[in-house]
């Protein structure tokens, strides 16, 4: 059995009788050669088993890898199962693909970014990562960084005004100061438990999307002179139906029963509506429910959910555009309130 010859740029150029630059241009800069000449060189290379200059070596020399790491707030599984995160990734991918840039998914619970920093061009960070140490690493890296739905000093960012949107939808849901309000929060604590929240930690985790929304809810509650009971805020660790259902059941069996549920995601609102229907209660007559995100399932539910509709595909596209342009802008994406039958 004969060993297959390993060609280099120099050896293949010598073999077919052209310069190194001519072979390189045939693969990487087709505009530098006539169509006929390029096709002749590529055909000769293919016949000899040469597929082009070593991309890894080129990247190491130039420092450009055409790879962007997308830092997720949680595990990679979160991106796959969460419709909002999936829409954001869809938007990012659509822009990067046009620029022939690849996307690497990076878990927000990883220990550090050093494992990928040496072979990516930079980072797009979707939400505050669960491991707060990553935030400081992203702040100090020399690579390009764009954040979505949270800010790092002097880095480009894109997002909706989560606090203002939560404030507006809470004011829509609460009709009087006699309303009994419960908040079904998402990742308010760095915990895997569905539980009531009595005190919030003073840490980097407080800058998350969830805490921005909680701030908006509390602003509306205070402005409307509503008494939010100390035991009426829940932490839901993942944006999944089983966890949301536990919190919804606890809230709906509390005494007195709340008549307003402020849900930090549409998936949480959907779980709450399922439980309300199972208890034989009427929406919105007995209980008013609002969500956040504007996913398709929320609009198709019975009743449809009153929610904050944020265009996550557009948000992802804008984040990728800021990265490609090497911009340092902070961009706010508009949102709107989707009026449904739940409130």
More confident residue, 65 or 194: 194
Q: What is the pLDDT of residues 107-151, one digit of tens each?
A: 988 888 887 888 899 999 998 888 888 988 999 998 999 999 888
Residue 67 pLDDT: 93
- Residue 274 in 3-state DSSP? helix
* Cβ(179)–Cβ(287) below 8 Å: no
Residue 1 pLDDT: 45
Q: Where are the domains of the chain?
A: 9-53, 67-159, 162-310
Burial grade of 41 (CB within 10 A; 0-12, 13-18, 19 or more): buried
What Å distances lie between residue 242 and 101, 188, 216, 279, CA to CA? 37, 17, 26, 17
Mean pLDDT of 225-250: 95
Of 114-118, 150-154, 270-274, the range with the highest mean pLDDT is: 270-274
User: Residue 39: which of 25, 26, 58 has the closest Cα?
Assistant: 26
Residue 154 pLDDT: 76
- In this predicted structure, the answer to whether residue 50 has a pLDDT above a threshold of 90 is no
Cis omega (within 30 of 0) on the bond before 58? no
- In this predicted structure, the answer to whether residue 26 has a pLDDT above a threshold of 50 is yes
Residue 146 pLDDT: 96
Mean pLDDT of 237-242: 91
User: Residue 186: which of 248, 135, 124, 254 has the closest Cα?
Assistant: 248
Q: How confident is the model at residue 204 (pLDDT cuts 50, 70, 90)?
A: very low
Q: How confident is the model at residue 273 (pLDDT cuts 50, 70, 90)?
A: very high
Residue 222 pLDDT: 96
> What value does the mean pLDDT of the chain take?
90
Mean pLDDT of 89-107: 94
- In this predicted structure, the answer to whether residue 35 has a pLDDT above a threshold of 70 is yes
Tell me if the domain spanning 67-159 has CATH number 3.30.70.260: no
9-53: CATH architecture: Orthogonal Bundle (1.10)
* Cβ(220)–Cβ(260) below 8 Å: no
Residue 56 pLDDT: 57
Residue 30 pLDDT: 82
Mean pLDDT of 229-257: 95
Per DSSP bridges, beta strands 335-338 and 307-310 are antiparallel
- In this predicted structure, the answer to whether residue 6 has a pLDDT above a threshold of 50 is yes
Cis omega (within 30 of 0) on the bond before 198? no
List the beta bridge partners of residue 144. 122
Same fold, 67-159 and 162-310: yes
In angstroms, rounded to a whole number, what is the distance separating the alpha carbons of residues 212 and 161? 8
For the ranges 17-31, 86-100, 282-296, the lowest mean pLDDT is seen at 17-31
Total length of the chain: 343
- In this predicted structure, the answer to whether residue 90 has a pLDDT above a threshold of 80 is yes
CATH topology of domain 162-310: Rossmann fold (3.40.50)
In the DSSP assignment, the letter for residue 143 is S
């Amino acid at each position: 059995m004969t060993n297959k010859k390993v060609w280099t740029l120099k050896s293949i150029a010598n073999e077919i009788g052209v310069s190194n630059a001519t072979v390189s241009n045939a693969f990487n800069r087709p505009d530098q050669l006539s169509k006929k000449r390029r096709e002749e060189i590529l055909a000769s290379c293919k016949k000899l088993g040469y597929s082009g200059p070593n991309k890894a070596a080129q990247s190491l020399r130039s420092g450009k890898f055409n790879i962007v790491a997308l830092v997720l707030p949680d595990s990679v599984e979160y991106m796959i199962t969460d419709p909002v995160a999936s829409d954001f990734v869809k938007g990012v991918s659509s822009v990067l693909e046009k620029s022939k840039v690849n996307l690497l998914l990076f878990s927000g619970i990883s220990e550090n970014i050093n494992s990928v920093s040496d072979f990516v061009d930079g980072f797009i960070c979707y939400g505050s990562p669960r491991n707060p140490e990553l935030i400081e690493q992203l702040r100090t890296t020399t690579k390009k960084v764009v954040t979505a739905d949270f800010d790092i000093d002097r880095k480009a960012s894109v997002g909706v005004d989560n606090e203002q949107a939560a404030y507006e939808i809470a004011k829509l849901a609460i009709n009087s100061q006699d309303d009994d309000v419960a908040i079904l929060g998402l990742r308010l604590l760095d915990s895997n438990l569905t539980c009531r929240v009595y005190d919030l930690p003073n840490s980097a985790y407080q800058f998350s999307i969830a805490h921005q929304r909680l701030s908006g809810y509390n602003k509306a509650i205070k402005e409307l002179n509503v008494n939010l009971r100390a035991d009426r805020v829940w932490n839901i660790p993942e944006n999944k139906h089983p966890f949301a259902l536990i919190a919804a059941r606890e809230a709906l069996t509390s005494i007195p029963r709340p008549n307003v549920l402020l849900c930090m995601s549409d998936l949480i609102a959907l779980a709450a509506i399922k439980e309300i229907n199972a208890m034989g209660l009427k929406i919105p007559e007995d209980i008013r429910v609002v969500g956040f995100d504007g996913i398709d399932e929320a609009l198709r539910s019975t009743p449809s959910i009153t929610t904050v509709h944020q265009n996550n595909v557009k948000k992802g596209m804008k984040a990728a555009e800021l990265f490609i342009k090497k911009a340092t802008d902070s961009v706010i994406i508009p949102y709107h309130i989707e009026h449904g039958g739940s409130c």
